[in-house]
Structure 1
């Protein structure tokens, strides 16, 4: 019997499995393998430091973020005193799973089917990828880290079948030479209702490759056509297409992450993707770490209620950031007129500095109270249409 079975081997599940294995727990890591999540691949310096990511996994270092409005106006924001690291999920997720295995987690490849419980305790039942047979992993506790449409959440956690999400789609293409439309050290974020009526599109360099994609929760949106338009605008239409991927991205953390007994959720399964930005890798790995902390506590004390610690720890540090980002998305993503104003607001030097300080450090910056006041006043002026859309 394992101490814990981790279902899902993405950044969240692999992090939880590695942490628990290094703590001396017997861990099984169950992953489907072969699935690559659509993702821009951006990670902040704090993730690189907190989770000991080697330079070999960083395929590009971004020094500028370009915000593009519905009318095509572009605001370039320099990333001062840092950078945005870029990873390729095809290799990054494999690296994390391999590292968990090296720490002592036992790897299993297959698809989660259900949980069974008996007097001996719970067990995870899965379909083995090679043989096609049903197999069981007896365990004391389970971490569900199997994505936005988590079967573990759906079957085991109240409310786990009602995660709101957008559908993300991207294409990985061979990167062209540096041109006026494409810069290998610049991320482009496109706020245009013709690309996405409720989210945004992106062009993110990955060294020799590039991720081009968009997300939307609106039914009937032609994701591939929108991505083709993005490729054309960035001069990427003729570039070789390496792979295409689509998947749901959750929009809101679940109110509950555990079932009160033997299951706790992590990562996308718990809904922890940042509103507005859609950033998920950092929060997934933090989610895996706090889930491992909660499991370690429950295994030590024997108290199932200690599984609640995962959500409490996460929200204590990140609830304020999520609330601010949610407010920004609700205010500015509802129409092209609002998106135009949002890009105008990005001209402001206070917005630029505080945004990327918060991004790199993953906390609200409180050291400049006057800057916050100025931003609040400018934000109100834009929402009340007291300034023209195109001010610079």
Structure 2
């Protein structure tokens, strides 16, 4: 089975190589880490026990940040290696975890030779995969090397489940290589068992995203607010926006600004390559604006463009209301908990399937509100600015959801301890 899979993979690679080459030229970010991914790794091994964490991109890095830090704290003599697939994932990993892990590099393509090269270079005693990355050759080679492989914070969306289910005969053989699979919900657990995982190796752990690390304390929040020169103004943050969403938020801001002169806006595009495009849109509004990269503040500006990586999470701490992007663009939304942890009411568009379970929970808890269009977004923001009682209730609900959902991190740590 693995021989056939590997042969098909190589054949597809050869057939599609012209298209891949063109894609690399058109979108340079796609070729980030190419030579490492193909198998050219330097020696990353250590005489110490090595734990290899894999987080495909930004969201997964954020999810396992607290887990990695807790492992480092509890096992300071262990060698920790972190891999990602995307360039932005690498940037966030470097920004947040460079001083915690021993090595940060790229995850290999699933060609047999690439996987073997990575395993030989890192020589792990344990591999921890964030969320649900199932790579046949990778899992098989680790099993051959007698290295336990674990999925943590696992989830399977309804659409992914349908695809996996069609090939359950194939994935059953792959999933038997996993020593432990820790899923977020009972529904996720049932889906992966239905795909072929051994029920005895699957457990529900909750969601690591409720255990957010590096929460700013009150003094740090006050210092950040002062550095931004917010004063008594109220900050609306539009976080992780995608194409088409910046126009929506800017139009709503224009309408709101005529009624609420103390309202300020910070826009944080999801993808850095869009910064120039968003800056042009902001310029066209006629509002005074600044750039975070230049340490600009709100003293003489109505809008700040967050054009640096790794700061959005802490900036939510000084916001009054948060709009979480990717929810009007069809992308599926982004993590609303980064703002909710600070008691900031969350507003999102209708498309939030990437965080369906979290949104279902926080909207039911009245910590967040889904809006269907620009007019509803405007009305929701206006109501939160006018109705302090509603704002207070949503803010309290945000805090309460974390109080009632603690435990995923400690549960995972206890499980990992049994394997190394």
| Structure in which a larger fraction of residues adopt helix | 2
Per the TM superposition, whether the score is higher than 0.5 is: no
> Larger Cα Rg: Structure 1 or Structure 2?
2
TM range (shorter): under 0.3
Q: Using structure 1 for the length normalisation, give the TM-score.
A: 0.27
| Structure in which a larger fraction of residues adopt strand | 1
